[in-house]
Amino acid sequence: MTTRDPSGTRDRILDALETLLLDKGLSQVTLEAVAATAGVSKGGLLYHFKSKDALLAGLVRRLESRTTEQLNTAVSQGKSVAEWYLQTPHPGDESDAVELALYRSMLAAMRTVDGPHDTDADEVDRALNEAFDAYRTALDNEIPDPVQAEIVRLVGDGVYLRALLGMPPTDPDLYRRVVARLLGQATGDR
């Protein structure tokens, strides 16, 4: 992971990329547009990210870092990895809105994997794989049954996908019961 620069230029560039992805879509993401939105020269952008793919990989790595930070906070507050992974986003809640924006950015970056790339396309693929492997590893380390760990991961993925697509959430009481059953099975309780 690249060291954070003291002036915050790298973060400003990644913030600009997120803004463009969320507001205008991938078709409007060019190095020039990101530089202009960030208020830096194209040379300044290229100092931090040598290509568009390096920029997208940087975004995915930052999302992975933020998610890891959020997971560590949840675990330090007594939640299990599975509880954290199965949390229900609430689009009206400001803290969840930030989280959903980050996941939307990750989805936009994932869509670029099949699109045209420069010579650094593998960097985006690697960053995405590392992000998802970190979640899988954390769940596998907590849940002894690999099938149950995968079920928890798939349910958590589905919950976030529903939120990202703006679909109505599952009834909160029913979802609490689903999570309780999953977590009970994950720990061997019935």
The pLDDT value recorded for residue 165 is 76
pTM over 0.75: no
For 89, other C-beta atoms within 10 Å of its C-beta total 18
Give the pLDDT band of residue 105 (cuts 50, 70, 90). Answer: low
Q: pLDDT tens-digit profile of 82-102? A: 988 888 666 556 666 656 656
Where along the chain do its domains lie? 77-186
Instruction: Take residue 136 and report the two structure tokens written for it.
Output: 């899988």
Q: Are 63 and 100 in contact (CB under 8 A)?
A: no
Q: pLDDT tens-digit profile of 114-130? A: 555 555 567 777 777 78
Q: Cα–Cα distance between 96 and 169 in angstroms, integer? A: 14
Q: Cα–Cα distance between 155 and 123 in angstroms, integer? A: 28
